[in-house]
Amino acid sequence: MKLYLHSALYRLCQRFAIGLCALLAMASASPSQAVIGANDNVPAATLLLPYFEVDLNNGNGPQTSVRLSNASATAILANVTLWTDWGIPTKSFLIYLTGYDTSEIDLRLVFKGHLPRTASAGQDPSNTISPKGLFSQDINFASCGGILPYTTLMPAADLTAMRNAHTGLASTTFGGSCGGKAYGDGRARGYMTIDTVNNCTPNNPSVSGYFSPGGTGDATNQNVMVGSYTVIDRGQGFATTEPLVHIEASATNPISSTSGEPTFYGRHVANSAADNREPLGTIWNARYLNGGTFTGGTNFIVWQDPGQVVAPAVCGNTPAPFPIALGEVLAFDESEQVSVSPIIGVGSNARPANTVNTAFPVVAQRVATTPLTPFAFGHMILNFNQFTGQSASSSGTIVSRRQAFVSVQHSATGRFSASTGAVRLYSADQPLAAQLRYRF
Amino acid sequence: MLRYLKSLGCAVGFGLGATASLVSTSAQAVYNAIDAVPAATVLIPYFEVDLANTSGRSTLISVTNTSATAILVRATVWSNANLPVYSFPIYLTGYDVASFNMRDVINGVLPTSASAGQDPTDTLSRKGVFSQDINFASCSGVSPGTSTLPIAALAANTVADLRAALTGAAVPNGTLRGISAGQCVGMTQGDSVARGYITMDTVNSCLDATPADGAAVYFSDNTATRQNTLWGDYMIVDPSRNTVYGDLATMIEARSFSQSAVPGTYSFYGRFVNATDVDHREGLATLWVTQLDRDSTELQVWRDTRIALNPSSVGFTCGSAPSPQPMGMEGAGAFTFDSKPDGATVGTLFGTPIGSYPITNAATGMTSNGKLGQMYISLRTAIGGNADVEFADPTATQALVTSVRRPRGGATGLRSGAMAFPLNHVGTPGVINTTFPPFPPSTQ
């Protein structure tokens, strides 16, 4: 095992200078064993920022930044992809990380055209752009010649296209069509994925060949990245930091390598499991606090798989499969009274289906919880699986597992905010028949 | 059920429900992974309550039952020396949530709950239409050595002992189990802030016991159960400074009944079951990596002491440090954004088992001025002594690390926190047998 080798090399090299000893030991160090199918934050091959907001017009509005670290001595290349809140990719860029390197992705700067400046050894012969530390590998990705480092601002037209794409406006990225929901508030929205890759590819996860089983496409299966993101809203006095969603890869674990079974990028690989990425949860449980000190209430940050490749639409229209219908919502108060949706005639406190079922209409969003519950405090069970046959007298049947990720933000208006996360109750890798229905 | 945020003001809503069949959850548990799923033990790894300032910081805690089945929980409050201070039961009907302010707990007002037998009119722990409500007869207090639900407010002398115990002062009255008057059970930080951590275990009775009561009483499926149905969260709120940060609790799953204990395995409560693994709880990690910023990050650290305890004698002489403090560590070091290493030289950087530690050059012995990217921390350490419980790796010492940061460029009041990233797991054979290489001094 690599970690035993790490120890053996270390003891062997203790005869030499400590620096060399440490160098060799660190170079052979292996990150934590990946537990495929667990909702754990350990070094991974793909990181998901489930939702971002960037106020393009107000520096004191919500801003999102990501900190990406390489938890191994081996140099890696990371492909960052921005997606609209409809799940359509808009922009990819590359980040080179030497061993144990860290890079910051400030989306405020990205949406001003500034991309993180890194370079592999071949593009950085003087080791000044991506300096190599004592324990760090620094190698040349020849394919990055002429690409890295990013030295100029994005071309103005490209920048405008990207900003429009993420604010729900017509964008040349989509041939003049729209690729996201238009809120009309000047805030760029969407989500981000980061994958380990083996070349300075121009591709993104939606492109055929980006994934190939065993990490032999552009994307590799190197479980070495850790990351977190911070959302700051200085106008409100809010700051929250959360780990990114760490999505591990394995070419051998059945959960992430069985054709026909859900994987994270399944919709982009025809559900062939070629991406080798573990899937996320399907049923989640989260707290809400809509009152008391938390005058701003609780928002849920929700990323969900749309279940299909999404195409841009003529602006003003909404493409399939939106709005996505949520399978079930059970809102409990702190006395276990419950409001259930879709409506099954549970009484005056139940919410009509046409407001609750489409509470999370797109792939990535931040949603206030007050419309989802008649209660001020409690917890909710959110079932993202897709149902058929639901009615006032029938819970229906789950016909499709649908993965999602939920995070929780509580806030006191103008004072503070905190994120506490949600808990996964069921995973997309559990069989269809095992997925739970709660209404009956 | 409970009124949330009593000391901060709240309202509780209620609604009508239709008749429906009971449905229980049975989510998939992945053993030996630190993951956010329902579990049999919930760890709140750190709390603070400023007892000198009623408007100052306190810790809000919630625990949720994800199943339709009624659950009994044993909450144990531990000192920052990782010693048991007090425990109490919480009854949860199906899908129930209990939330409480640690300030109230330390002031003697414990969460109100009662099982069906103690709550015949269903007014204390209300039962929803999907929720089971059953009777735990042991909670009626008819047998000696059992807690009674609903819990009465603590007597004034017990409150005084509790406040002293958690601030590292001498307990005045000796009302807490195993702590004589004049003894300490926590480490003083020179202020009036109560510190410690909390565990919450699923149990089958109101027996007045804690995990420190070991295999014969609490574990081996005697009192503690293996119901993976709980999850929790916590927030450390300071209304006077408008700061708050929060995180999910750490959910520690129990193994299924189809699997047997493996003696020698490092389990979460291993020190109380003499490394026999009969607590059936997955352990944590010894090696962590966290992202952080120099001078604006505190690391909250929870460390296992690996010391077996006699629950009838946990207090120690004030002014001394109970074994194994100060706790050593294998090593720690950071990498800057330029991948330059900067080694910490303070061997007892996290010497008190439960604490919040500022990451500054002065505190850590690091020397560079470069912007920090990530910090590696190996908390393995030899402990020794007759009471030391050792596992397959005699220096394995599980821990949990949370990074609390003040965002760069943010106002003073901004705080955010998130658990660090584990790089190994004590329950995975062989993985923890690593040697953490020494970090050289910074060259920047």
Is residue B416 within 8 angstroms of chain A, CB to CB?
yes
* DSSP H/E element including B160: helix B156-167
> Are A26 and A57 in a shared domain?
no
- Maximum pairwise Cα distance, chain B: 70
Q: Which residues of B touch A132 (CB under 8 A)?
A: 339
List Cβ<8 Å contacts ≥24 apart for A17-23: A18/B438, A18/B440, A19/A134, A19/B440, A21/B437, A22/A134, A22/A135, A22/B437, A22/B438, A22/B439, A22/B440, A23/A134, A23/A135
B12 close contact with A: CB closer than 8 A: yes
**A41 falls within a domain:** no
Chain A residues with CB under 8 Å of B251 CB are 423
Amino acid identity, position B118: Q
Question: Cβ–Cβ contacts within 10 Å for residue B444, how many?
Answer: 14
Residue B21 located in a structural domain: no
Give the residue from A268, A296, A326 where a domain finishes.
A268
- Residues of chain A numbered 310-339 and touching chain B (CB < 8 Å): 330, 332-339
Q: How many domains does chain B have?
A: 1
Are A5 and A59 members of one domain? no
Give contacts of A381 with chain B, Cβ < 8 Å. Answer: 66
Q: In this complex, is the C-beta atom of A426 within 8 Å of any C-beta atom belonging to chain B?
A: yes
In-domain check, residue B429: no
A85 occurs within a structural domain = yes
Q: Does B108 touch chain A (CB under 8 A)?
A: no
Q: Do residue A240 and residue A286 come from a single domain?
A: no
Do A85 and A11 lie in one domain? The reply is no
Any B CB within 8 A of A149 CB: no
Has residue B17 been placed in a domain? no
Contact across the interface for A349 and B15, Cβ inside 8 Å: yes
Q: Looking at the domain assignment, is residue B359 inside a domain?
A: yes
Domain count across chain A: 3
Model confidence, pTM: 0.93
The verdict on residue A274 lying in a domain is no
Q: Which of B244, B229, B284 is nearest to B97 (CA)?
A: B229
Domain boundary residue among A229, A244, A268?
A: A268
Tokens of B42: 């919930």
Question: Rounded distance, CA A367 to CA A359, Å?
Answer: 7
Residue A333 lies in a domain: yes
A239 and A95 both lie in a single domain: yes
pLDDT tens per residue, range A239-266: 889 999 999 999 999 999 999 999 999 9
Residues A59 and A105 in one domain: yes
Residue A276 lies in a domain: no
Per CB-CB distance under 8 Å, the chain B contacts of A332 are: 95, 97, 128
The residue of chain A nearest to residue B13, with distances taken between CA atoms, is: A375
Pair A259, A370 in one domain = no
- CB-nearest to A285 from B35, B231, B289 is B231
pLDDT tens per residue across all 444 residues of chain B: 333 333 333 322 222 222 223 333 445 678 889 999 999 999 999 999 999 999 999 999 999 999 999 999 999 999 999 999 999 999 999 999 999 999 999 999 999 999 999 999 999 998 888 889 999 999 998 888 889 999 999 999 999 999 999 999 999 999 999 999 999 999 999 999 999 999 999 999 999 999 999 999 999 999 999 999 999 999 999 988 888 889 999 999 999 988 999 999 999 999 999 999 999 999 999 999 999 999 899 999 999 999 999 999 999 999 999 999 999 998 999 999 989 999 988 888 999 999 999 999 999 999 988 899 999 999 999 887 778 888 888 889 999 999 998 765 544 556 778 899 999 999 876 655 455 655 655 555
Assigned domain for B12 exists = no
Measure CB to CB from residue A291 to each of B10, B413, B434 and give the nearest one. Answer: B10
Q: Which domain holds residue B383?
A: 33-422
Q: H/E/C letters for each residue in chain A?
A: CHHHHHHHHHHHHCCCCHHHHHHHHHHCCCCCCCCCCCCECCCECEEEEEEEEEECCCCCCEEEEEEEEECCCCCEEEEEEEECCCCCEEEEEEEEECCCCEEEEEHHHHCCCCCCCCCCHHHCCCCCCCCCCCCCCCCCCHHHCCCCCCCCCCCHHHHHHHHHHHCCCCCHHHCCCECCCCCCCCEEEEEEEEEEECCCCCCCCCCCCCCCCCCCCCECCCCCEEEEEEEEECCCCEEEEEECEEECECCCCHHHHCCCCCCCCHHHCCCCCCCCECCCEEEEEEEEECECCECCEEEEEEEECCCCCCCCECCCCCCCCCCCCCCEEEEEECCCCEEEECCCCCCCCCCCHHHHCCCCCCCEEEEECHHHCCCCEEEEEEECCEEECCECCECCEEEECCCEEEEEEEEECCCEEEECCCEEEEECCCCHHHCCCCCC
Specify if B285 maps to a domain.
yes
Q: Do A13 and A52 reside in the same domain of the chain?
A: no
> How far off is chain A from B231, nearest CA to CA, in Å?
7
Task: Indicate if A118 and A191 belong to the same structural domain.
Answer: yes
Of B5, B14, B34, the CB nearest to A337: B14
Same domain, A288 and A260: no
Parent domain of A14: 1-30
| A-chain residue closest to B251, CA distance | A423
User: Among residues A268, A298, A324, which one ends one of the domains?
Assistant: A268
| A293/B9 Cβ within 8 A | yes
| Crossing angle between the packed helical segments A2-13 and A18-27, to the nearest 10 degrees | 170
Residues A101, A237 within the same domain: yes
In a shared domain, residues A69 and A131: yes
